[in-house]
């Protein structure tokens, strides 16, 4: 994201000052280094590293446009400050993303898709799935398939492909995940997989976790966990699945699994989410070159990628060059006559244009 947002702004004709997330600054700095090696002038894309609470004000006070990815609370502050300065802003914020498994879904493929959607980067992706709504007729088979796959995932900190799930990023994030799971279990949630920290592997590891019997009084029911935790809910039919998936102030990403592509797309169109993938986790919607990506509701405003992702960094300007005769009547022609002449001329031009 650090590279794609900045490069889109550069393509729109801008210079960029970027503050990367302090957890992932090296990735952004490496992208900048590669761009400079490719010939980008050094001052066109500049990087400042630090906490938003320390340097965010200076960035906002001097920017012509603000692109932000982060929490909904911070996004509201940025939107307020952008409104005060009358500058544009694009905000990709939090989410409580849902995946729907319809009664005609290929269960094995849907289970693979759920694992791919819930646990990459230890669930620390803005588009990760945290809620699974499964048709009652296939619920038990799907749950069994998901649990078996989750239990086979290898948790570890290697730098190769030998591990499936890595570490959380900060002690605060581990605390959030632990508190969400412990709160749910204390209030009656059923542990189907995981729900255990792994200090034997490192200070911030947590097992891929699947919970059932999650109820509205539990914190993780509607609040974003941003970790390797997902809850599963049985639903009677498509309408209930859609209603429950939409029963959130967020609207970032969602998924639908069905053997019937037209049915999947119909359900997808009814979901309150900026991106919805049918029979896929999120890569198709995220990686499509022409596909705009962003959130609805508390998940933000504006879009990245596609034409919208570049045009948002530009200002539309009209330059009208009137040739020959203007719209005001010449001195010797009465206004009524001039109006009739203009109307007739416009009809002729419309006829010529249609042909």
Domains of the chain: 2-93+306-311 (3.40.605.10), 97-281 (3.40.309.10)
Is residue 87 within 8 Å of residue 131, measured between CB atoms?
no
The predicted pLDDT at position 29 comes to 96
The predicted pLDDT at position 324 comes to 80
* 207-262 confidence digits (pLDDT tens): 999 999 999 999 999 999 999 999 999 999 999 999 999 999 999 999 999 999 99
Label residue 180 by pLDDT band (50, 70, 90): very high
Task: Return d(Cα 128, Cα 107) in angstroms, integer.
Answer: 20
* 76-89 confidence digits (pLDDT tens): 999 999 999 999 99
pTM to 2 decimal places: 0.91
First to last CA, the chain: 47
Question: What are the counts of helices (DSSP H) followed by strands (DSSP E) for the chain?
Answer: 12, 12
Average pLDDT score over residue span 302-329: 92
Q: Which of 37, 118, 126, 207 is catalytic?
A: 126
Q: Which of 92, 130, 207, 224 is catalytic?
A: 92
Based on the residue annotation, tell me whether 163 is a catalytic residue of this protein.
no
Average pLDDT score over residue span 254-282: 97
Task: Return d(Cα 313, Cα 309) in angstroms, integer.
Answer: 8
Residue 76 tokens read as 């509201």
* 98-155 confidence digits (pLDDT tens): 999 999 999 999 999 999 999 999 999 999 999 999 999 999 999 999 999 999 999 9
């Amino acid at each position: 994201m650090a590279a794609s947002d900045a490069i889109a702004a550069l393509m729109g004709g801008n210079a960029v000052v970027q503050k990367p997330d302090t957890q992932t600054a090296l990735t952004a700095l490496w992208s900048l280094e590669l761009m400079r090696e490719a010939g980008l002038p050094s001052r066109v894309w500049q990087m400042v590293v630090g906490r938003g609470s320390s340097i965010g004000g200076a960035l906002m006070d001097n920017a012509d446009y603000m692109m932000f990815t982060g929490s909904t609370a911070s996004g509201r502050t940025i939107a307020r400050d952008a409104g005060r300065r009358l500058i544009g802003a694009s905000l990709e914020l939090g989410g409580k993303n849902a995946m729907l498994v319809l009664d005609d879904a290929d269960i094995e493929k849907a289970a693979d898709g759920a694992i791919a959607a819930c646990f990459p980067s230890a669930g620390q992706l803005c588009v990760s799935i945290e809620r699974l709504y499964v048709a009652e007729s296939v619920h038990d088979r799907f749950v069994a398939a998901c649990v078996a796959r989750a239990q086979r995932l290898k948790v570890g900190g290697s730098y190769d492909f030998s591990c499936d799930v890595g570490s959380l990023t900060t002690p605060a994030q581990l605390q959030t995940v632990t508190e969400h799971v412990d709160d749910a279990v204390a209030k009656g949630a059923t542990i189907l997989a995981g729900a255990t920290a792994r200090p034997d592997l490192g200070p911030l590891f947590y097992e891929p976790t699947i919970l059932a019997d999650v109820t509205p009084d539990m914190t993780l029911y509607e609040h974003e966990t941003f970790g390797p935790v997902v809850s599963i809910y049985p639903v009677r039919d498509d309408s209930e699945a859609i209603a429950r998936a939409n029963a959130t102030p967020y609207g970032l990403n969602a998924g639908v699994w069905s053997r019937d592509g037209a049915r999947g797309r119909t359900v997808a169109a009814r979901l309150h989410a900026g991106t919805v993938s049918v029979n896929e986790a999120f890569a198709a919607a995220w990686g499509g070159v022409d596909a705009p990506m962003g959130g609805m509701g508390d998940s933000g405003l504006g879009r990245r990628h596609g034409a919208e992702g570049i045009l948002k960094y530009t200002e539309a300007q009209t330059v009208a060059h009137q040739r020959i005769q203007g719209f005001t009547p010449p001195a010797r022609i009465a206004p009524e006559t001039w109006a009739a002449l203009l109307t007739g001329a416009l009809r002729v031009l419309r006829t010529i244009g249609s042909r």
